[in-house]
Amino acid sequence: MAWREVKLFTSVWEKARQRTYDAMLRKAKAHHVAGGKVYGYDNKDVFSPLPGLDGASKRLHVVRVINEGQAKVVRRIFQLYAAGLGIVRIAKLLNEEGVPSPATAGHLRRSARCCTASSIGVKSYGTKPSGRIARARRRSGSATSGNGCA
């Protein structure tokens, strides 16, 4: 590949990356969902009150609504963590009690045991007790990959 073609490809890629970043930032500032699903919340579509040119409703954006069933599990995780239990112990406790994992709750996977220390860690640090959602920081070997639990 010629140097000019490589430079052109890099320029196109950088512009696309910047457009995506700007769009996600704009959504986050408007309090719209800028990512996927979060355990403890359901994504709800918000539609325009006026129909589009084709007569169908147009989706404007997506917002998060608390899922009370899953929110109880998240609150319990925070309480157990605040009481001094580690994330491995919390995961074992939830598995012993048969609490559905994020993956089985969302019907992504039908595994009986799926709560792991890494999925508890993502849940603990991904949702703040105030109800605000924080972006989970990924480590190498992402905590959310491999087990489908978060």
Structure tokens given for 36: 């996927």
What does residue 99 show for φ and ψ, rounded to 5 degrees? -65, 130
Structure tokens given for 113: 């045991």
In a domain, 15, yes or no: yes
Query: What pLDDT digit, counting tens, does each position of 17-34 carry?
Result: 999 999 989 988 988 888
In a domain, 89, yes or no: no
Per-residue pLDDT of the chain (150 residues; tens, 9 = 90+): 566 676 777 788 899 999 999 998 998 898 888 878 888 889 999 998 888 888 888 888 899 999 998 899 889 989 999 999 988 898 889 888 888 777 665 544 444 445 666 666 544 444 444 555 555 444 444 343 333 443
pLDDT for 20: 92
In a domain, 25, yes or no: yes
Total number of domains in the chain: 1
In a domain, 20, yes or no: yes
**pTM score:** 0.57
In a domain, 21, yes or no: yes
Three-state SS letters, 44-93: EEEECCCCCCCCCCCEEEEEEEECHHHHHHHHHHHHHHHCCCCHHHHHHH
Domain extent, residue 10, equals 1-30
pLDDT for 44: 92
> Is-contact 149 101, C-beta < 8 A?
yes
Task: Give the C-alpha separation, 64 to 99, whole Å.
Answer: 22
pLDDT for 66: 93
Work out the burial of residue 110: count CB atoms within 10 Å of its CB; fewer than 13 is exposed, 13-18 middle, 19 or more buried. exposed
Structure tokens given for 34: 């800028």
In a domain, 13, yes or no: yes
In a domain, 135, yes or no: no
Of 85, 40, 84, 29, the residue nearest 65 (C-alpha): 40
∠ CA 20-128-37, rounded to 5°: 45
In a domain, 77, yes or no: no
